[in-house]
Amino acid sequence: MLYRWIMLLALAVGLTLDARAQQADELFDLARIQRATVFVMQTRTVGNNAIITCVGSGTLVSRDGLILTNAHNTVPNPDCPGDQLVIALTIRPGEPPITTYYAEVAQANEGLDLAILRITQDLSGRIIEPDTLSLPFVDVADSGQIDLDDTIAVIGYPGLGDEDAITVISGTVTGFVSEPSGGDRSWIKTDATIPGTMSGGGVYNLEGQLVAVPTTVPIIPSAADVTCPIIQDTNNDGLINRADSCVPLGAFINALRPARFIRPLLRGASLGLQVEKISQRAATTAASGSPEFSNLFFSPSITNGMPTTAAANLPTGTTSLYLFFDYRNMTPNTIYELRVTINDRPSRTFSLAPVRWSGGRDGLWYIGSSGQVWPNGIYEFTLFLDGIASGTARINIGAQPGEPPPSFSNISFGILDERSGSLFGLNNVLPAGAVANARFIHRNMVDGTPWTACWYYQNAPLACEENVWSPDGSDTRALSITNEEPGLPLEPGPYRLALFINNRLSTLSEFTIAGAQEGAFPLVFDNTRFVSTTRPAEVPTASAASTFSSGRMELYSTFDWELLEPGTLWTMRWLVDGTRFFEETVPWSNSRTGQGFITRLSSASGSLPDGRYTMEIIVNNVVLAEAEAAIGVGQLPIDPFAVTEGVQLNGWVIDADTGEGLAGVSVIFISDEFFVSSFVWNNDQVHVIATSDSNGYFQLDRLLEFDTRYSVLINARGYLPIASDVVRVNAETDNPLEIIIPLTRG
């Protein structure tokens, strides 16, 4: 039998095997990354033709076929209206990829523009069980360890995948971009010149670990150009011309989405976990008008996501700067971009290539960075929406120092203690009451200086008070707002306080009123619990429970809510054994007050894994309620795929005379339903196929099942083929099994 022959040969040449294994280890990182890089095509069926609608790069991040990529070219949307995902694998790193599988979206966050795909079928349509795959994959690392000037490698496909091989582009980290969606490191910036088709690929540190995803979004032009080529006859008129749809590729990339955003999606996809908010009403996502930015201003620092103070000039040596602005009518499909010039010269370091919007529909946003020196110069920040300029602001860094100007800063909110004069509460989430109080710091204010305090509710002016400054010996000053109707509490919803000096904005901050007052704190969500039922209709009357038996197919949670204004952004977060696997921030779309909001947790793979599950409910980054429950032993298995039965086969194909590795050799395991004599190269006859790389190394991307008969064909041009119909492995076979296959010249 071929199997026994190979095993005996491997034992006989053990020294050679060890030497070649050592050599492979030296090349393993890059070779493995290349094999784990895939080309992703979204397609739609027109007649009998598969029309390519969008393309991108991707990376295998688990052996059972999970692929990390972007959401914009995989989740159907107006610019990518496909209905099928086709995956092309890297068989030979120096050649174009080979279409091999179909996939589906397992997890996605459209705002962050990240998606995890799951391989589901081969090209013949045959369903593939994940446990039978054993694909090369890369580890997702801690992106928090990346520092300025670190060397990185960006790997992906630079073209449409039909002619181009994998490209490796080296660069360095030039900075970090801050946004409300991710804090100080929402984006990693690089000086590498990355083509748009590599969006969704991988960014690696020197250890070969994936630390980020290059990301940009194509802006569809009015007429096809190099960033949106026409490659197919999409209207079936027999011609390929401007009447056909183009494939959006995007311009060059300079922004990388850090790996820490990937981990929750990967965790949820690897466990097959799905969260469904059964009680959530359909939100009104349609914009009331065109997206827009307004009220642009700069702040040198941030506290609780809000600007400390507005600035028009900053000194030499400034290490942090943030542009704040209001946004309206935004959606997850809106594309925004920041272009920065220093003394009229474009700055890639501080600019942001076109990316998807990751905020809400209306609100306050910021973009900037800290921890690196901003060179002296006149800065101009220009924001773009869907490729159209939508606001500009300028600031001078390195201006000649002078007398410090008067300023207000660091607004805080809370419930006032009349005796001590201190504010209590959560600062940016206050309970519904008769009064909302604020306190701010003032500096360099001169007696008699005009200043104004303006309160806003749901973006509309509520009350403005013009004042003349009068010193009182304190470094802070207090303000308050009440309902115009005496005796009535303030309406729930979003509020803003803006402070002006001599009619110029000095600072602003926002807070949300929600929930009944419980001391100094808001009671927004109550009666949060898991319940012991298997039907949504029974949730309102079901008993609360904190432990559940193994094998449970679904888990239900519920909560009541009070005085939560529709449109208020809220977050639901789920964790298993303390690790996030789901987080979604959306506008509240239910009534102000209600009972029995129902959420269902299920698993695409069947029963829920044993573990300790936590659900958190958040407003303005404050956890206002949580519930916890344990399933089974209350702890996840160390490796949920460790129970897979089968053997992983890797090896080297060498020249029997010289011992040199042979590239491009096909190692074919034929399905147990066929023999070599009946093999005609149809996909439905192949269990798995591998091709050796430039060192002769190959790796099967599916496990060989125990006690299953396989036919094997090993074929290389210029060498005698090897064929057998009696190859088997069993539970006693070495796993993984590494072999050497010598071929004799024919």
CATH topology of domain 39-176+193-268: Thrombin, subunit H (2.40.10)
CATH topology of domain 407-500: Immunoglobulin-like (2.60.40)
How high is the pLDDT of residue 718? 86
What is the band of 287 on the pLDDT scale with cuts at 50, 70, 90?
Answer: low
CA distance 214 to 70: 9
CA distance 69 to 224: 25
Contact 499, 506 (CB under 8 A): yes
CATH of segment(s) 645-743:
2.60.40.1120
CB hemisphere CA count around 202 (13 angstroms): 30
Q: List own/partner pairs for 299-306 with CB under 8 A and 24 or more apart.
A: 299/324, 299/366, 299/507, 301/370, 302/178, 302/366, 303/410, 304/427, 304/428, 304/621, 305/180, 305/366, 305/428, 305/620, 305/621, 306/364, 306/411, 306/428, 306/508, 306/509, 306/510
Percent of the chain with pLDDT over 90: 51
Specify the 3-state DSSP secondary structure of 266: helix
- Common-topology check for domains 39-176+193-268 and 407-500: no
Which residue, chain included where needed, has tokens 């009220």? 295
Query: For 20, which DSSP code?
Result: H
Q: What is the pTM of this model?
A: 0.81
Q: Which two tokens mark 264?
A: 């929750």
CA distance 391 to 383: 5
pLDDT single digits (tens) 230-265: 777 777 767 777 777 777 777 778 889 999 999 899
Distance of CA 389 to the CA centre of its chain: 26
Residue 108 pairs in a beta bridge with 115
Q: CB 216: neighbour CB atoms within 10 A?
A: 28
**Is residue 6 over pLDDT 60?**
no
Of 720, 713, 717, which is closest to residue 663 (Cα–Cα)? 717
- The single-letter code of the amino acid at 19 is A
pLDDT single digits (tens) 652-697: 899 888 888 888 888 888 877 788 877 877 666 778 888 887 778 8
How high is the pLDDT of residue 300? 96
CA distance 316 to 566: 45
CA distance 545 to 578: 19
The mean pLDDT of 550-554, rounded to a whole number, is 92
Which CATH superfamily hosts domain 296-397? Immunoglobulins (2.60.40.10)
Contact 126, 119 (CB under 8 A): no
pLDDT single digits (tens) 32-77: 898 899 999 999 887 777 888 889 999 999 988 999 999 999 999 8
pLDDT single digits (tens) 158-202: 877 666 788 999 999 999 999 998 888 999 999 998 888 889 999
pLDDT single digits (tens) 707-723: 888 888 888 888 888 88
How high is the pLDDT of residue 520? 82
Mean pLDDT of the chain: 86
Distance of CA 529 to the CA centre of its chain: 29
Angstrom CA distances, 349 to 273, 338, 471, stand at: 38, 11, 43
Torsion, CA 122, CA 124, CA 127, CA 131, rounded to 10: -30
Residue 251's contacts (CB-CB under 8 Å, 6 or more residues apart) are 196, 216, 218, 227, 353, 354
pLDDT single digits (tens) 475-496: 999 999 998 888 789 999 999 9
CATH 2.60.40, applies to 524-631 = yes
Sequence ranges of the domains in the chain: 39-176+193-268, 296-397, 407-500, 524-631, 645-743
